[in-house]
Amino acid sequence: MNQRLFVTGISTEIGKTVISAILTRALKADYWKPVQSGDLYHTDSMKVAEWAQHSQLQVFPERFRLHTPASPHYAAEIDKVTINLNDFELPETEKSLIVEGAGGLLVPLNDQDTMLDLMAHLNIPVVLVSRNYLGSINHTLLSIEALKHRNIPIAGIVFNGPPTPSTEEIILKMSGLKVLFHLPELEAINQATISQAALVKKEEIIQKLSEK
């Protein structure tokens, strides 16, 4: 069962890369980060390559590697490059593919396009990563509303961090979405913990992705 999934989050620093690594490992998938802004010596691609190691893993190079840790549109302006949606095409692979976005849905790529436009352009289902904090219900439901408005399929929600039943229940009730899996707080983030999480969650992930 080959899957193509776009991992996005309700905000920045929400755990997209950790969730991407777990999905990559659990599905024996390849990985692609279309845009990397800043941290070019410790990119998300490097992290996933280290954390999600499996025998056939291929990490595809970023389409844009921008030097400034900022919104892609601004980082591209500083680097004197222009990002266009037509610059992006899914890498060819016979395996599953995990694509990781940058920031949240409405992060600008240029003066008119956002990460949401890139999701629509690539036309693959989205995994939305949510994490509990004051305002996260609003941010999660707004993200879901934006995806639904653009008719972008949502494969499911991942709740990352300590369980918060009341928050999770109202999000699921109001959105009608399913939980792909819950990830409790990891004591450390490394190859061992990612591998263990992928092993524990693998059957649940595969089952939920196969549900219609």
Q: Which domains does the chain have, with CATH numbers?
A: 4-210 (3.40.50.300)
CA angle 71, 183, 158 (to 5 degrees): 55
Q: How confident is the model at residue 211 (pLDDT cuts 50, 70, 90)?
A: confident
Check pLDDT > 80 for residue 160: yes
pLDDT tens digits for 104-127? Answer: 999 999 999 999 999 999 999 999
Three-state DSSP class for residue 35: strand
Residue in 44, 9, 17 with CA at minimum distance from that of residue 131 = 9
The contacts of residue 97 (CB under 8 Å, 6+ apart) are: 2, 3, 4, 5, 29, 30, 31, 32, 90, 91
pLDDT given for residue 161 in this prediction: 95
Mean pLDDT of 33-37: 98
Amino acid 121 reads H
In this structure, are residues 83 and 64 in contact, taking their beta carbons and an 8 Å threshold?
Answer: yes
Burial of 198 (0-12, 13-18, 19+ CB in 10 A): buried
pTM: 0.96
Q: At what angle do helices 115-122 and 136-149 cross, to 10 degrees?
A: 40
Q: Is the pLDDT of residue 212 over 80?
A: no
pLDDT in tens, 181-196: 999 999 999 999 999 9
Percentage of the chain lying above the pLDDT 90 cut: 96
Mean pLDDT in residue range 135-149: 98
Separation between Cα atoms, residue 131 and residue 29, nearest integer Å: 24
Q: How confident is the model at residue 31 (pLDDT cuts 50, 70, 90)?
A: very high
What is the model's pLDDT at position 1? 67
Residue 55 is predicted with a pLDDT of: 85
Q: Compute the C-alpha angle 5/7/11, nearest 5°.
A: 160
State the catalytic residues: 33
d(CA 22, CA 191): 10
Per-residue pLDDT of 195-209, as tens digits, reads 999 999 999 999 999
- What is the predicted pLDDT for the residue at 124? 97
